[in-house]
Structure 1
Amino acid sequence: MSKKHKTKVAAVVALMLGLGLSAGIDGTFSSNAVHAEEHGHDADSQAEEGHEHSDSGHDKASKRKKDDSESHSDKEHDEAEEHGHEEHKEGELELSAEQIKTAGITLAQAKSGVVNSLLELPGEITFDEDRTAHIVPRVAGVVEAITVGLGQHVKKGQLLATISSQQISEQRSELAAAKQRAALARTLFERERTLWQDKISAEQDYLEARQALQEAEISLKNAQQKMVALSGSSKPTGGNRYELRAPFDGMIIEKHIALGEVVNENSNVFIISDLAKVWATFNVSAKDLAKVTVGKAVEVSAPELETQVSGVVAYVGSLLGEQTRAAMARVTLPNPEGAWRPGLFVTIKIATSSQRAAVTVPAQAIQTIENKPTVFIRTAEGFQAQSVKVGARDGQVVEVVQGLTEGTQIAAEGSFILKSELGKGSAEHSH
């Protein structure tokens, strides 16, 4: 292509470009601008919508958080109210009158009274030594039979054991010979007395016969007394058998005898004790001797047996022990059911003085809950546990210094049942 021709083509292209540019400016460009503007507007709209959506989500999240917060607050409020309600109910037990009666719970009133100051001393139940016997054979011999066992109750005169003894055989022979001599002497005496009365024989023969009879009777009595001393009976049973018998009603508390064993006068084969009565022995220090005198009323209690009995001081020793530096004292206790067993540790309570108290309750009304003295006050629904402060006490009543007013009705006998029920309720609540 020639240079001139190229110039013409360039001019035509430039003209066309100019026309196209103008059209673009008026149309296409405007269209593109509008499109761009619309696109930008759409972007702005989307951004605004996104912002609105974000704001809406934020508002919803805030609302949800607020609702959750309000719900949590309401829940906490409800729990607080429920907890407060539970606290208000703490220590209460709902029991009907029929349930109280069935449980064996008795009621008492707090009232003014006298409280004794007590001296408490440790003691021990021992055998009544006045009714305890060490059974020993009175003769030497070999054990042939044993008719009782350890711990068995026996009656007075009951056979305990039989012993074969040569000494018994000899003594019975002596007794039998003494009886024969006495019988012969009496026959001769009666004969000589008749002859003397008939003036057939001399008075001297009569006097000699009378003396012989008296000597024979003395020998017979001596033989009988020996037999009684050996066997406890003057009636001969024959042979060489010696019988051991119970001296009184009691229990075999020790047994040291066996079949075939050789025993003698020093063998302690049985110990029998009458447990219908026992002793409660205790030591009294020198400073308390003025407070403990014979005839003083005491209370003897055994925590293991949960029992208590009344008695009086029967004996106070005049000497002080070398090791304890205290005097031995004792109380005699009836023991019909055998509950007071020798060896049992007890507490001896002795009233030494008395004082007046504004409010007292029975001793069994006081229960320990969470290491605090507590009573159960009667309410319309049942009982309410009430902590109290206690003062002086004795075996019967306890002084209440704080936490209870006079005239208030409380649970007395059986209050430990209420303590147990309260403990069960606390355990269930903790779970």
Structure 2
Amino acid sequence: MKLINKYKIIIYLGLTVVTGLLSCSQQPKKEEQPESTEKVRSKTETGITLTKNQLNAVGIRFGTIEQKNLKSVVKASGQLEVPPQNRAEVTLLMGGVVNQVFVLEGQHVNKGQKLASIENNQLIQLQQDYMSAEAGLAYATKEYERQKELNAANAGVGKVFQQSESAYRSEQAKVAALARQLQQVGINPANATKGRFITQIPVFAPISGIIGKIDIQTGSYAEPARSLMNIVDNSKVHCDLVVYEKDLFKVKPGQLVNFILTNQNNREITGKIYGVNQSFENDSKAIIAHAVIEQSAKNNLIQGMYVSALINIGKQDVAAVPTDAVVKSGGKEYIYYLKKTQGETFAFDQAEVVSGAADLGYTEVKLVTSLPKDIKIVTKGAYYILSSQNATGDED
């Protein structure tokens, strides 16, 4: 029994030692404690600190957020379009085989210029019908005149006179209809009267402009009402701007517009709103505002170009700061304000803003988080504070 008790004591002591070792191993080591947390929190709270000498050296100036009467704008985007009357699809009323094409893509043409010729043997029958109709009209005219004279002298029969008059009117209508058909395919009816029949349909430019894509070639068959080529006159190009519902009642005809051509190194041109649609586009809560562009012919503008625009909707009182007070970093905009002073040491912090209209050296700002009303902000030298903050962040 004593031996058994002795073994029990030994086992109990062994378990006690193992438990103690496990407890020690689970305790966090002192050097693993996040002792840098307080340092990081302190830097975040105090922002950036500068001395008075530094402020004087870089010329940092202070001011307040003011109420300014600035030119207000509505931001919009869109693309350049051409009015329907300044673009054309060249088609045929009668089909045929392409005999010759006289123009190239990108070439400027004038209205009435010959673009192509189409071979169609059906033209012979049409011209022959017109010639026969002319002969029939000549006979009907003489008969009508003869019966008219007899009827006036009471020597004729009234029924015969009426028949001759009806035949005369019918032949007149027939000749006029055939003449119109010949004119529609570009043939002078006078030539058909003289027996000078042609088998080629000339294709003429309906408007002046630049030839776009040509869909025909020599020897191909040109179908009726199918586009042979298109012509665009970019001299009357205008801009269709997308305006959303929140700005709908701010945009009106007559307002000035500044356009920014995103594909031409952000070149700026000016224009004016001349019309605003009164219905939403498809299912979107947006309307189209139409703007005419000043001197569009001299700006080498092309239909389909995308643009950004600022529509001037007048002036209004807004919270504003000098333009130099707003800095950009990480895709956001900030202003810096004086958080506290201690002796000759100045502590600054940043406040995120959303900028708006810019005019007279001031920029409209909307604070993401509110600040005290009369707090001092940095109006000059904000970029120096930003660079100092970035440098401190890199060192950290």
Same fold (TM over 0.5): yes
Matches within 5 A, 1:17-416: 114-197=69-152, 201-231=156-186, 234=189, 236=191, 238-303=197-262, 304-305=264-265, 306-322=267-283, 324-334=284-294, 335-355=296-316, 394=357, 397-399=360-362, 403=379
**Residue deviations 1:80-104 (CA, integer Å, cap 9, x gap):** xxxxxxx9899xxxxxxxxxxxxxx
Where 1:318 maps in the other structure, the secondary structure is coil
Kindly state the Cα deviation for residue 199 of structure 1 after the two structures are TM-superposed. Answer: 6.0
Name which one, 1 or 2, has greater alpha-carbon Rg: 1
Q: Which SS does the other structure have where 2:259 is aligned?
A: strand
Q: 1:317 to 1:398 in 2, by over 3 A?
A: farther
Partner of 1:62: none
The one-letter amino acid of 1:231's match is G
Given residue 331 of structure 1, which amino acid in structure 2 is its aligned partner? A
Q: Tell me which residue corresponds to 1:41.
A: none
Q: Which runs of 5+ in 2 are unaligned?
A: 1-55, 60-66, 335-352, 364-376, 381-396
Give the secondary structure class of the aligned counterpart of 1:231: coil
Q: Deviations over 1:227-259 (max 9, x none)?
A: 334438655473122111111211112211111
| Secondary structure of 1:210's aligned partner | helix
Deviation at 1:175, TM superposition (A): 1.7
Pick which of 344-353 and 231-240 moved more. Answer: 231-240
Asked if the contact 1:123–1:346 (Cα under 8 Å) also holds between the matched residues in 2, the reply is yes
Secondary structure class of the residue paired with 1:290: helix
**How many Å apart are 1:144 and its aligned residue?**
0.8
* Cα distance between partner residues in 2 of 1:333 and 1:251: 19
Instruction: Letter of the 1:159 partner, please give it.
Output: K
Q: Does the CA contact (< 8 Å) of 1:137 and 1:265 recur in 2?
A: yes
Corresponding letter in the other structure for 2:223: N
Unaligned 5+ residue runs, structure 1?
1-86, 91-111, 374-389, 405-431
- Name the CA shift for 1:399/1:226 in 2 (closer, same or farther; >3 Å): same
Q: Tell whether the 8 Å contact from 1:115 to 1:398 is kept in structure 2 after alignment.
A: no
Give 1:391 shift.
9.9
Q: Tell me, what secondary structure is at the counterpart of 2:147?
A: helix
How big is the shift at 1:174? Answer: 1.8
Relative to structure 1, the CA distance from residue 250 to residue 338 in structure 2 (aligned partners, 3 Å threshold; closer, same or farther) is farther
Count of aligned pairs between the two proteins: 279
Q: Deviations over 1:268-327 (max 9, x none)?
A: 1111111111121232222222223344432222242522212114232502323x4432
Poorly superposed stretches of 4+, deviation over 6 Å: 87-90, 357-361, 368-373, 390-393
Shift in Å, 1:162: 0.8
Check conservation: 1:136, 1:268, Cα contact below 8 A: yes
CA contact (8 A) 2:258 2:268 kept: no
In 2: Cα distance, 1:402 partner to 1:160 partner: 67
Matched letter for residue 249 of structure 1 = S
Partners of 2:186 and 2:282 in 1: how far apart?
40
Q: How far apart are 1:342 and its partner, in Å?
A: 2.0
Shift of 1:188: 2.2
* Contact map agreement 2:99 2:218 (CA 8 A) in 1: yes
Preserved CA contact (<8 Å) 2:260 2:269: yes
Give TM-score, length-normalised by structure 2.
0.59
In structure 1, distance between residues paired with 2:301 and 2:242: 19
Alignment partners' CA distance in 2, 1:396 and 1:119: 14
Q: Which amino acid aligns with 1:134?
A: E
Q: Closer, same or farther in 2 for the Cα pair 1:358/1:294, shift >3 Å?
A: closer
Please list the CA deviations of residues 313-356 of structure 1 after superposition, one character each: whole Å capped at 9, or x if unmatched.
4232502323x443233323252225222232211112345246
Q: Deviations along 1:361-419, whole A, 9 cap, x unmatched?
A: 9x9x99x999999xxxxxxxxxxxxxxxx997657643179657xxxxxxxxxxxxxxx
- Any conservation in 2 of the 1:116–1:394 contact (CA below 8 Å)? yes
Q: Which whole-Å CA distance do the structure 2 matches of 1:245 and 1:186 have between them? A: 35
* 1:201–1:354 Cα change, 3 Å: closer
